[in-house]
Amino acid sequence: MHRYHGSLVVTGRLLIGAGTVIEGDVKARGGIVMGDHARVQGSLCSEKQIQLLDHAQVAGPVVSESGILLGAGVQVGSPQALTTVSAETIMAEAGARAHGTVWARQLGIVWSA
């Protein structure tokens, strides 16, 4: 339940704890895991996998060079601010919402838990 103002650039892997709010953009070369109910009010980018756990929210684009996992209740963008989710592989649990464009370049899977 922490709040961080500003952008983050991480050369390794980044874990954003449950309930954390980041008011800025996030880039991590080694992958990103967002905990339950965490929020990023900017973009989320990584060369490796991005995992958004249950009820996480990202206001801006979510871009990975490998894969993205969207947990139950995840929200990317909003009806008023459309955005993009892009990766080679995108897997989404039922109930995940992306407002805008979802681009799975190789494989996209949606399943019910």
Banded pLDDT at 1 (limits 50, 70, 90): low
pLDDT tens by residue, 34-83? 999 999 999 999 999 999 999 999 999 999 999 999 999 999 999 999 99
The predicted pLDDT at position 113 comes to: 62
Can you tell me the distance from the alpha carbon of 50 to that of 56, in angstroms, rounded to the nearest whole number?
Answer: 12
Residues facing 91 on adjacent strands:
69, 109
- For the cut 90, the answer to whether the pLDDT of residue 112 exceeds it is no
The beta-strand segments (E) located in the chain are 3-5, 8-10, 14-16, 21-23, 26-28, 32-34, 39-40, 44-46, 50-52, 57-58, 62-64, 67-70, 75-76, 83-93, 97-98, 100-111
The predicted pLDDT at position 97 comes to: 97
pLDDT tens by residue, 4-23? 999 999 999 999 999 999 99
Decide: residue 62, CB within 10 A, 0-12 exposed, 13-18 middle, 19+ buried. Answer: buried
Mapping DSSP to helix (H, G, I), strand (E, B) and coil, where does residue 3 land? Answer: strand
Whether this model's pTM surpasses 0.85:
yes
- For the cut 90, the answer to whether the pLDDT of residue 109 exceeds it is yes
